[in-house]
Amino acid sequence: MPSQTSPSPVCPGCGGPARSVADTVADPAPPHADVADLTDRLAKAPAVASRGTTALHAGEGLIMAGVGLALAHGGLTGHATVPLVGGLLLALIALAGTALVVRNETRGRAAVTAGEARAEALWQPAYHCPGCASVFCPGGEPWQGRLTPEQFRKLVWTEAGYGGELEEGARAALVPPGTLPRPRGAQDHV
Ligand SMILES: [Zn+2]
């Protein structure tokens, strides 16, 4: 759904019409063949597991641990060593794995929540030009220049504090120095 609040700005690179990044991500309209992954390339934040998904993973892990304990209990009452040891091992691995998954998912969610406002401030005003595949902010506010979608995503994610979540390939993108103006306070004392 196109936004009706502002007129479409013209791309400073090729002079073509640009769409806001928010609209582009919400509806990566054809005519370009490579739009399929635009939503990912311009994403404001990494996809994180919802609370419900984490609860589901925890539930699955606990069921596995329960199966292991039942097996171990059967081994104990039947004086069989293999199911006893195997069951205990299964329970331990299930619990450790579940703890790790739950911790990682919770951390990822917390990082995205913590950086949300900062990411939003850099991401929301940005426009994407489908003609030359560049991202820019009309008027150079709050950041200036033209970036590739990869550079743009790195800028947003890094500033939001979850740059570490970028895939290895995406980390290689270099954001040109001066894209983000220095905070005013830093220049006042010169
Ligand atoms: Zn352009």
Q: Give residue-wise pLDDT tens across range 88-117.
A: 999 999 999 999 999 999 999 999 999 999
Each domain of the chain, given as residue ranges in start order, spans 19-45+116-183, 51-108
- Indicate whether 73 pLDDT > 60: yes
Report the 10 Å Cβ neighbour count for 23. Answer: 17
User: Ligand 1 centre from 135 Cα, in Å?
Assistant: 8
Query: Tens digit of pLDDT for each residue in 114-166?
Result: 999 999 999 999 999 989 999 999 999 999 999 999 999 999 999 999 998 99
Residues paired with residue 104 on neighbouring β-strands, in sequence order: none
User: Ligand 1 centre from 96 Cα, in Å?
Assistant: 50
- Indicate whether 34 pLDDT > 80: no
The alpha-carbon radius of gyration of the chain (Å, integer) is: 24
User: Ligand 1 centre from 178 Cα, in Å?
Assistant: 20
